[in-house]
Amino acid sequence: MNNGKAARAEEAPRFTRRITWRRVDEEGEEEFGLLESDSAPHWILQGLVDFPVDDDKALWVRYLVACDANWQTRRVLLATATNPLKLVDFPDVKPLITLTADGMGNWSMNERERPDLQGCLDVDLGCSPSTNTLPIRRLNLGAGESAEVTAAWVRFPDLSVQPLHQRYTRLAPHRYRYESLESSFTADLTVDNDGLVVDYPGGWRRTMG
């Protein structure tokens, strides 16, 4: 009996980081956790985001992103509410969006195939800086190297999902340039040793963790 409990404890995902980010361009905050597991999924990103919709309204977003050992996105759960008390935690919260990927670029959304997302290995949540970590860790670029990727981009507040072509360039050990190849948007991100954002100019800044 005790051996069984010990085995289950080893398999349970465990927090490795807890972070708070605050918006610098408008109101908004995120409480984020990174979990690691000895079994699949290997990495789990989860967060609760206060996302401003207009001057007097906010949308609360709870998400979970499950990745394999190579940081490829395999499952995404996302739910929203106007009251954070309604977003206790998964699996108690019923997700509005469920994305699944096979790690080879094939995706489905709410159990329907999404061939337009073919080739995407990452999810990019437009409400959070956390998913920048996925290509940063997956690509493991050397200084001066760059790579183009296509992410399954979840837009907010409409929650549409579409492919987004991007480029990441490693400028220094803790600095990456992010470029959207479908617009003129560029940002030089400061990250920590785990590839988690410390400063996202014009977007987010870490306040804890």
Q: Which residues contact 191 (CB under 8 A, 6 or more apart)?
A: 132, 133, 136, 174, 175, 176, 197, 198
Residue 72 lies in a domain: yes
The pairing of strands 122-125 and 146-154 is parallel
pLDDT per residue as tens digits for the range 112-162: 999 999 999 999 999 999 999 999 999 999 999 999 999 999 999 899 999
Residue 82 lies in a domain: yes
Q: Coil, strand or helix: which one is 30? A: strand
The answer to whether the CB of 105 falls within 8 A of the CB of 93 is: no
Q: DSSP for 182-203?
A: TSS-EEEEEE-TTS-EEEETTT
Residue 1 has what pLDDT?
41
Task: With a cut of 60, say whether residue 24 has pLDDT above it.
Answer: yes
User: 100: which strand partners?
Assistant: 75, 108
Residue 5 has what pLDDT?
45
The answer to whether the CB of 137 falls within 8 A of the CB of 195 is: yes
Six-digit token string for 111: 């159990």
CA quadruple 25, 26, 29, 34: dihedral sign: negative
Which domain range does residue 117 map to? 14-208
Q: Which residue has the tokens 């979970």?
A: 64
Residue 56 lies in a domain: yes
**Confidence category of residue 25, pLDDT binned at 50, 70, 90:** confident
Distance CA 122, CA 136 (A): 10
For the chain, what is the domain count?
A: 1
Residue 1 lies in a domain: no
Residue 51 lies in a domain: yes
Residue 6 lies in a domain: no
Residue 10 has what pLDDT?
53
pLDDT per residue as tens digits for the range 45-88: 999 999 887 767 788 999 999 999 999 999 999 999 998 889 99
Residue 2 lies in a domain: no
Residue 85 has what pLDDT?
87
**Confidence category of residue 206, pLDDT binned at 50, 70, 90:** very high
Distance CA 136, CA 147 (A): 10
Residue 113 lies in a domain: yes
Question: Around 171, how many Cα atoms within 13 Å sit in the side-chain half-sphere?
Answer: 12
Task: With a cut of 70, say whether residue 4 has pLDDT above it.
Answer: no
Residue 53 has what pLDDT?
79
Question: Around 139, how many Cα atoms within 13 Å sit in the side-chain half-sphere?
Answer: 24
Task: With a cut of 60, say whether residue 7 has pLDDT above it.
Answer: no
Distance CA 144, CA 139 (A): 13
pLDDT per residue as tens digits for the range 90-112: 988 999 999 999 999 999 999 99
